[in-house]
Amino acid sequence: MSTVATSFGIEEALKELGLNETNNGTSTGANWFSGGEEIASYSPVDGKLIGKVSATTKEDYEKVISTATEGFKEWRTLPAPQRGEIVRKFNDELRRLKEPLGKLVSYEMGKSYQEGLGEVQEMIDICDFAVGLSRQLHGLTMHSERPGHRMYEQYHPLGVVGIISAFNFPVAVWSWNTALAWVCGDACIWKGSEKTPLTSVACQNIAARVFSENGVPEGISCLITGDYTVGEMMTKDERVPLISATGSTRMGKIVAKEVAGRLGKTLLELGGNNAIIVTPDANIKNTVIGAVFGAVGTCGQRCTSTRRLIVHEDVYDKVKNAVVDAYKQIKIGNPLDENNHIGPLIDTDAVKNYQHALDKVVEEGGNILVEGGVLEGEGYESGCYVKPAIAEAENHFEIVQHETFAPVLYIMKYKGDVSNALELQNGVRQGLSSAIMTNNLREAERFLSVEGSDCGIANVNIGTSGAEIGGAFGGEKETGGGRESGSDAWKVYMRRQTNTINYTTELPLAQGIKFDL
């Protein structure tokens, strides 16, 4: 594959992950299909071709959905702990291939190598969680009002789960869904982002090999590839009872409407417009660390990225100057070079959105504190490298109200007590992640109270970016309301059933109703 950069072991990683110059993009496990047009994957790191993947055709999709539907019928009968054992073996392969898969994530998506490794570690962690969960798919037992009756509830697998993931976390979000869905007894069909198709193929290669070696029915792990039209095949398909979709709010609204029209279920993880509130009692050093990583990590392309910094007027200048100084230390370049903090944006379209945001904030009256711009010259040939920028802005600015998937941080001032800061934080349509920096117990508790943050994630003295596997991940309002990963998020992949058993020789009716014959 001569067009691929040989530095940092990329060629070796591709080979170890079973990737070729041309890859099939549709799979039911052991069987792969290549009927559609080719999608070329170019690295934003150096602009070079990594490989090509064939898109899924309607005919290919029909093979996938029919195979998944049939495979589910057998898979659901396997005891959950045995399904967990399969996930454990899949996890063993992830541990073995962590380095090459992390490199591919970094090279194809553009995030730093350490973040690429961290994303694979998230896959490993959720598999560990799922293995334990396979022995804890608990229902409830409750007392019946009728003598000689027992009542309880149990959970059964839904069927075929459709997973649509985004480019910014090309492997982790899939694993959040599929590891849980597998132990719950579901079959999964995954449409990864067409911007990062090779990471999807690599993951399916791993799953297909493990499943085949362990006699798992064909169709439990499936892959389809392509643009939104391929995703529509699933969202419109009544044979797919649950669609889990990660992406923009605009995309989520389309998916929600389509799936609701057939009375299907959705799990939506959409846009974020995340803020850190900084009070007079904040630890400034920790504030700077949390704000800078939150704003520039993954080049600002996390749904949990810090977009707004809401700082009390008493410490505003101190915090502003500290953050601006910290930005001078950021190193931008090839993300596989561990000396660099951030890599490129995903593509030149993202660069245009970044430039539009900076132009717009000035147009609306904002003040640029750290100038942005597109980097050029040696090492930046892809045209996707940009400078992280900071702008003083007002919360009501139109551009501030929208999520820009790029390293643009808006800093603003609040006066009075923390309730004024909360009004600003909550004054956007998104509700994913939030944070407060304070050593004041009352402020922290107010932030976490029913009158506090309206986000699905609310942190004290850590930033907005990042999440642990043990907690449920997701947000409110236009973020979609879904929950993935830990806690009891597994329940979305199952259907609940209430059971009543009468072990007497009589048939008493509920509520004391008499119906004598």
Residues identified as active-site: 269, 303
Q: Please state, as a whole number, how many other Cβ atoms lie within 10 Å of the Cβ of residue 229.
A: 10
| Cα gap 50→283, rounded to integer Å | 44
Q: What is the DSSP string of 168-186?
A: SSTTHHHHHHHHHHHHHT-
Instruction: Please give the angle made by the CA atoms of 217, 255 and 297, to the nearest 5 degrees.
Output: 85
Residues with Cβ within 8 Å of residue 465, at least 6 apart in sequence: 274, 293, 294, 297, 302, 304, 305, 306, 433
| Cα gap 488→196, rounded to integer Å | 30
| Cα gap 33→67, rounded to integer Å | 13
| Cα gap 491→400, rounded to integer Å | 35
412 vs 31, 406, 430, 458, CA distance in Å?
A: 54, 18, 18, 20
Cβ(470)–Cβ(282) below 8 Å: no
Cβ(118)–Cβ(101) below 8 Å: no
Cβ(202)–Cβ(106) below 8 Å: no
Beta partners for 22?
Answer: 52
Kindly state the tokens that stand for 256.
């929600």
Closest CA to 189 of 39, 41, 34, 71: 71
Closest CA to 13 of 102, 90, 94: 102
Cβ(327)–Cβ(306) below 8 Å: no
φ, ψ for residue 430 (rounded to 5)?
-95, 160
| Cα gap 312→308, rounded to integer Å | 13
Run of H or E residues at 430: strand 430-431
Strand order in the sheet with 141-143: 141-143, 149-157, 494-502
Cβ(188)–Cβ(216) below 8 Å: no
Cβ(49)–Cβ(38) below 8 Å: no
Q: What's the half-sphere exposure (Cβ side, CA atoms, 13 Å) at 480?
A: 29
Run of H or E residues at 243: strand 242-246
Kindly state the tokens that stand for 512.
């004391």
Cβ(486)–Cβ(471) below 8 Å: yes
Looking at residue 225, the DSSP 8-state letter turns out to be: -
